[in-house]
Amino acid sequence: METQSYTPVPPGVGMEENFLSLDDILLSQERLPCQTETCFLRLGFVEKSSETPDIAEGTKMELPLWLAKGLYERKRRVLSVELPKVYRDGWRTVFGADPNVVDLHKMGPYYYGLGSQLLHFENPENSEIAQTVLRTFIGRFRRTMDSSQNVLNEDTSVLVERLDCLEKALFRAGQSGLNSFQCWEMGRASHLTASSLVLNYRKRKIAEVQE
């Protein structure tokens, strides 16, 4: 069994993010195209391409998700968020046709996470986005399952490179189940091996110290 020096917090898939999850923290760094609805006084220096001291109304900017979520408020109309390319109608048709062809890692490694977070911003296409995200997951499930359960001791990088981060976590779970079964079947489970924690500390063995 693999032991880790801490218990990693899993990402909150869906509309809630887990505060302590590293995957969610990295997800919130993804940029969204936004348009300001009011004037941001004396913040012109933040945006490098503007010469005015204020950010005028209607400027298009790319803001990270954490900033957009914080500033977004329906009543005060501070910000309006547009959909990134991958979630728009054109790409939605592609996903509907065949989700397996798409390289989800290139399309933003957090396709499912970002798709769920976009639902926070009131947008008329939200229900279609939610449907597409769900259908893409279901469509790609078979391939992820087959590839994770059938590969043994081979280089998995070709299979993994087209997967989104969520699917990569599932792939690893499948692989670990398979590997521990194979290890048991070959009798290696009863061999004592050094724990990964101890190896990570890089304790010097006695023979090395004495030399």
Partner 1 sequence: MDPSEVEFVAEKEMVTVIPNFSLDRIYLIGSATCRTNVPHMYRSADGYLCVQGDLGPFNPGLPVNVPVWLALNLKQRQKCRIVPPEWMDVEKLEEIREQERKEDMFTPMPSPHYMELTKLLLNHASDNIPRADEIRTLVKDIWDTRVAKLRLSADSFVTQQEAHAKLDNLTLMEINTSRMFLLESLNCMYKLRTNLQHHGGTAKGQEY
Q: What angle do CA 165, 136, 14 make, to 5 degrees?
A: 60
The residue among 33 and 139 lying less far from partner 1, judged by its C-beta, is 139
Interface with partner 1 includes 18 (CB under 8 A)? Answer: no
The residue among 1 and 101 lying less far from partner 1, judged by its C-beta, is 1
Interface with partner 1 includes 27 (CB under 8 A)? Answer: no
In whole angstroms, the minimum distance from the beta carbon of 71 to partner 1 comes to 20
User: Which residues face 32 on adjacent strands?
Assistant: 63
Cβ atoms 61, 34 nearer than 8 A:
yes
Binding span for partner 1 by CB under 8 A among 13-21, 53-61, 68-76, 201-209: 13-21
Cβ atoms 148, 178 nearer than 8 A:
yes
Per-residue contact track with partner 1, 135 to 154, x per CB under 8 A? --xx--xx-xxx-xx-----
Amino acid at position 16, single letter: E
Cβ atoms 83, 36 nearer than 8 A:
no
Cβ atoms 160, 168 nearer than 8 A:
yes
The residue among 59 and 180 lying less far from partner 1, judged by its C-beta, is 180
Cβ atoms 171, 144 nearer than 8 A:
yes
Residue from 79, 86, 114, 170 touching partner 1 (CB under 8 A): that is 170
Residue 196: phi and psi, rounded to 5, are -65, -30
In whole angstroms, the minimum distance from the beta carbon of 69 to partner 1 comes to 15
In whole angstroms, the minimum distance from the beta carbon of 202 to partner 1 comes to 27
Cβ atoms 72, 121 nearer than 8 A:
yes
Residues lying near partner 1 in the complex (CB under 8 A): 1, 12-15, 112, 116, 119, 126-127, 129-131, 133-134, 137-138, 141-142, 144-146, 148-149, 166, 169-170, 173-174, 176-178, 180-181, 183-185, 187, 189-190
